[in-house]
Amino acid sequence: MPSCQVDDTAQVLLVDPITRRFIINCSRLAVGEIRGGNRDKHKCEFIDLLQPNSVYGKWGKGLKYDDIQSGRGVSRDAEAFVQYASSIASTLEKGKKAVVFCRNGRSRSPSVIAAFYIIYRGLSLREIKQWFEKLYPMQRPVSAVASSAVVSSSPFPNIEKFETVLNLLEGCLADPEKTVRGFNLAGKICW
């Protein structure tokens, strides 16, 4: 297996078109630099995808695994994606920057940010993929090269790992009767 090195200090900066606030996608190591060297760190809210979302208490889910889910795992991950996307939206509405991170910032965090854009900004997964495929390699060139060196078909960001989950979320928005683990994105409780 070829070795690779991730540029852990680089970040992807996205500007939300509605609030004009930053959504920052980075790795766990880059978060340390943001917390330690940023005078504006009090204007940031850090969203760690490896930990359960504290906003939702014991019901919060963490995205512990960076793998493709199938079966029941898809709806579990979709529920977590909705929770984290809601945290991004809440952070931006408070006038803060959302710093979204996982271990390497290559698949889980870009996928959750894609979920935010699907749920809260009405973009299609196709539009998001086209945008991300241009933007991410420009802002994190070392990670883009490292990702393609590991698996020739692995793009950066690798939101394909969670494409099943993102398709489910997109489908739930298109069909208000479709549910994810007892709730739907139209706000109707379904048991």
User: What's the pLDDT tens digit per position in 31-77?
Assistant: 877 777 655 656 888 998 887 765 555 555 677 766 666 666 677 78
In a domain, 142, yes or no: yes
In a domain, 108, yes or no: yes
What's the domain count of the chain? 1
In a domain, 131, yes or no: yes
- 165 and 113 in contact (C-beta within 8 Å)? no
Beta bridge partners of 183: 180, 189
Q: For position 25, which CATH number holds?
A: 3.90.190.10
Question: Residue 55: which domain range?
Answer: 12-174
List C-alpha distances in Å: 115 to 22, 38, 129, 179.
16, 27, 11, 16
Per DSSP, the three-state class of 150 is helix
- 120 and 85 in contact (C-beta within 8 Å)? yes
User: What's the pLDDT tens digit per position in 136-186?
Assistant: 777 776 666 655 555 545 667 788 888 888 988 888 887 767 666 555 565
Distance of CA 136 to the CA centre of its chain: 13
